[in-house]
Chain A
Amino acid sequence: MSALATLETGLLLGLYALLAGIWGVLWALAQVRQAPIFGRSAAAAYGLHILAALTIILWTPLGFGWKCLIVGSSLVFFVMPWMTWRFLQHTHQNGGSEHDRKPSQHSGRVVARL
């Protein structure tokens, strides 16, 4: 296991995670802005993220288990923005009025137990 290759693996892992973040942000912006450029950029970012993942899997000296973790993480990174967005929309629809900021009143029993 070449030491330089190991260090370069570190940088690759950072790039991998960063591209996942860029994908998530651009995907979310595509939902907000409704302009095609964001959707296309998001797809490009995820494409680069997959490229980074493939480089890690095919070229770095990491063991089999860690490479499986990379594959699994890429799948989770792919669905995470969509899952988060859907759940955000769901909670905001069912979340009550925007100005419902007063403390809830149901906690008397909780406090009595304190």
Chain B
Amino acid sequence: MYRSQTLALKYFSAAMTLFGIMTVSGLIAAYYYLNPDFLFGILPFNIAKILHINTLVIWLLMGFMGSIYWFLPEELGRETAGIRAAEVLFYVFCAAVAVVAVVFIFVQYGGSDEAALWLINQGRKYVEAPRWAALGIVVIMVVFAYNVMGTAIAARKTTGIITVLMIDLIPLILLYLIAFPAISNMSADLFWWWWLVHLWVEATWEVLIGCIMALALMQLLGTSRRIVETWLYIEVALVLGTGILGLGHHYFWIGTPNYWLTIGGFFSALEPLPLLGMVVHAVYDAGAQHMKTTNRPALYWMMAEAFGNFIGAGVWGFMITLPQVNLYAHGTQWTVSHGHFAFWGAYGCGVISVLYLVLQKTRNLAFVDGPRWKWSFAALNLGLVGMTGALLVAGFVQAFVERAIGGSTLNAFISGQENAWFVDGMVARFLLAIVFTAGYVVLVWDVLTVGRRAPAVAAVAPAQ
């Protein structure tokens, strides 16, 4: 096993740990809606939320990095360049995340000065981490890019997939620099902030997970390189073709000119179209193999990725993307419903799929199956879809009561939040979050034990 692949395992372990912290902090934040005095004065809602959304970003990033560190040496036929630096930085990364989290929890905030932004909390959504940590993330990502590019240079070769990855990493890293400035003008702040968030999750991250899925498909289904490369280019063209100006769907209400209503609405309405192609492609791949595979959880999680992406990002996004509807739905639990489903379908499922692929190799398993992965698959997906449904009900009610009939005032907000359907929706969301959490626990249990308990299972060929 290459050192890069050993490092990949460490990144996956860290990713799974942060997934757990994301889940716990999510439970806390969700419970606040049911009991507003819960942990009041100790851990305010905004800190729980900050932990939840920052661990979301970091666990996924670590999952992506783990995937690339795993596939890269085999793809290019040699050890990853700069691997020693990457190994050291992994521990630095983990330590930094821990320090940032401890400061969030125990210090929480400072004064309205530069020192607070550098050391405690920058207070911009998803990128609240203090500047010193943001600087650290830049270093880690630059070294990661060097690992990829340096390996290609040292190997004196590249592949279509790695070339796309290398090109993608450049805007991905440059966009992160938007995490640094404190812009007084809120319109300008949000304008640039959306370049970072949207062009990450609806552009550069889509390309990144596309590269990872291409690498995974070659191993999982034995698909030929030429085919995955062709489809990678098509997917990149369609996703970026709709997503770059689809950025405009965040520019409806932040003080920008109203031509964004037409441009943003039109391009983001096109976004589901390529995702349907992806779903058909998934059925083709599954069907061609008759769902026969030596790694059932990896295949099922990859199917979940294709379907989750279409429904969570495509369908749920389509509901609220037209400006006429968005005027009422913007900044409500409807948005939250879409956000949870989209992140899960577009990225979470994919990372878990690769994790199972990696486990098959590291534990030398001829066949990966069993009851545990099925329980975690069911609980995680049903929990997530259930949460999404509950939030949709709450969000629809909120949009109607607070905005449509309430007049969007402070009092209207309260009326919406106290509406019986809204409250029920938030209770249901919390209960389903517990289901999701149970799924996470079983996932970790399976990941730690698959192939280790019963050697006989490992050697048995598929029954079909």
The verdict on A55 contacting chain B, using a C-beta distance below 8 Å, is no
In the complex where A20-B276, A76-B273, A84-B280 touch, is A110 in contact with B325 (Cβ < 8 A)?
no
| Interface SS of chain B | helix
Chain B contacts with A in 37-83, Cβ cutoff 8 A: 75-77
Q: Is B281 an interface residue (CB 8 A)?
A: yes
CB within 8 Å of B: which A40-80 residues: 61-63, 65-66, 69, 73, 76-77, 80
A107 to B162, CA, bound (A): 11
Instruction: Answer whether A18 and B404 are a contact pair too, CB < 8 Å, given A110-B163, A111-B153.
Output: no
| A101 → B minimal CB distance (Å) | 5
Write the A88-114 contact mask toward B (1 if CB under 8 angstroms, else 0). Answer: 100110111111111111011011101
Q: How far is the CA of A44 from the CA of B26 in the complex (A)?
A: 40
Among A11, A17, A83, A97, contact of B396 (Cβ-Cβ < 8 Å): A11
How many residues belonging to A are interface residues under a CB distance threshold of 8 Å?
58
By the criterion CB–CB under 8 Å, are A100 and B399 in contact?
no
Task: Name which of B198-206, B314-322, B379-387 contacts chain A.
Answer: B314-322
* In contact, B322 and A13 (Cβ under 8 angstroms): yes
Does B107 reach chain A (CB closer than 8 Å)?
no
Q: Which of B160, B316, B396 contacts A7 (CB 8 A)?
A: B396
B276: A residues at CB distance < 8 A: 20-21, 24, 77, 80-81
Alpha-carbon separation in the docked complex, A111 to B149 (Å): 9
Q: Is B400 an interface residue (CB 8 A)?
A: yes
Is B84 close to A, CB under 8 A? no
A107: which B residues are within 8 A, CB to CB? 157-159, 163
**Is B110 at the interface (CB under 8 A from chain A)?**
no
Q: How far is the CA of A9 from the CA of B149 in the complex (A)?
A: 48
Asked if B231 is at the interface of the complex by the 8 Å CB criterion, the answer is: yes
Q: Does A9 contact B273, Cβ atoms closer than 8 Å?
A: no
**Residue contact A32 to B287, C-beta cutoff 8 Å:** yes
Q: Is B459 an interface residue (CB 8 A)?
A: no
Do B315 and A9 touch (CB < 8 A)? no
Check B410 for interface membership: any CB of A closer than 8 A: no
Instruction: Give B332 Cβ to nearest chain A Cβ, in Å.
Output: 10
Chain A residues within an 8 Å CB radius of B231: 91
Tally of chain B residues near chain A (CB < 8 A):
61
Binds A, one of B111-119, B132-140, B220-228: B220-228
Q: Are B273 and A13 in contact (CB under 8 A)?
A: no
Q: Is B280 in contact with A24, judged by CB distance below 8 angstroms? A: yes
Query: B218, B288, B311, B322 — which one has the most chain A CB atoms within 10 A of its CB?
Result: B322
User: Is A1 an interface residue, CB under 8 A from the partner?
Assistant: yes
In the bound complex, residues from chain B placing their C-beta under 8 Å from that of A63 are 324
Q: How far is the CA of A9 from the CA of B328 in the complex (A)?
A: 11
A114 and B153 within 8 A (CB)? yes
Chain A hits for B230, CB < 8 A: 91, 95
Q: Is the CB of A98 within 8 A of B224?
A: yes
Check A28 against B283 for contact (C-beta < 8 Å). yes
* Complex partner residue of A28 from B227, B270, B287, B314, CB under 8 angstroms: B287
* Nearest CB in chain B: distance from A56 CB, A: 10
Task: Say whether A99 contacts B281, CB under 8 Å.
Answer: no
Q: How far is the CA of A3 from the CA of B265 in the complex (A)?
A: 18
Contact between chains at A3 and B280 (CB < 8 Å): no
Assembled-state Cα–Cα distance A78/B368 (Å): 37
Q: Do B224 and A96 have beta carbons less than 8 Å apart? A: yes
The verdict on A7 contacting B329 (CB below 8 Å), with A17-B315, A80-B280, A88-B284 known, is yes
| Residue from B149, B279, B327 whose CB has the most chain A CB atoms within 10 Å | B279
Please report the C-alpha to C-alpha distance between residue A104 and residue B225 in the assembled complex, in whole angstroms: 9
Judging by beta carbons under 8 Å apart, are B269 and A69 in contact?
yes
Contact with A along B235-278 (1 / 0, CB 8 A): 00000000000000000000000000010011001101100110
A91, B318: Cβ atoms under 8 Å? no
Contact yes or no, B158 A111, CB < 8 A: yes
- B296 contacts A by Cβ under 8 Å: no
Closest to A3 in B: B404
Whether the pair B315, A14 counts as a contact (CB closer than 8 A) is yes
Q: Kindly state the separation between the CA atoms of A102 and B222 in the bound complex, as whole angstroms.
A: 11
Closest to B161 in A: A103
B158 and A7 form a contact (CB under 8 A) = no
A92 contacts B283, C-beta separation under 8 Å: no
From residue B319, how far is it (CB to closest CB) to chain A in Å? Answer: 4
Which listed residue, B224, B324, B405, touches A9 by the CB 8 Å rule? Answer: B324
B361 proximity list for chain A (CB < 8 A): none
Given A6-B324, A14-B316, A28-B280, 7 further pairs, Cβ under 8 A: A7-B325, A17-B315, A25-B280, A28-B287, A33-B287, A98-B222, A105-B157
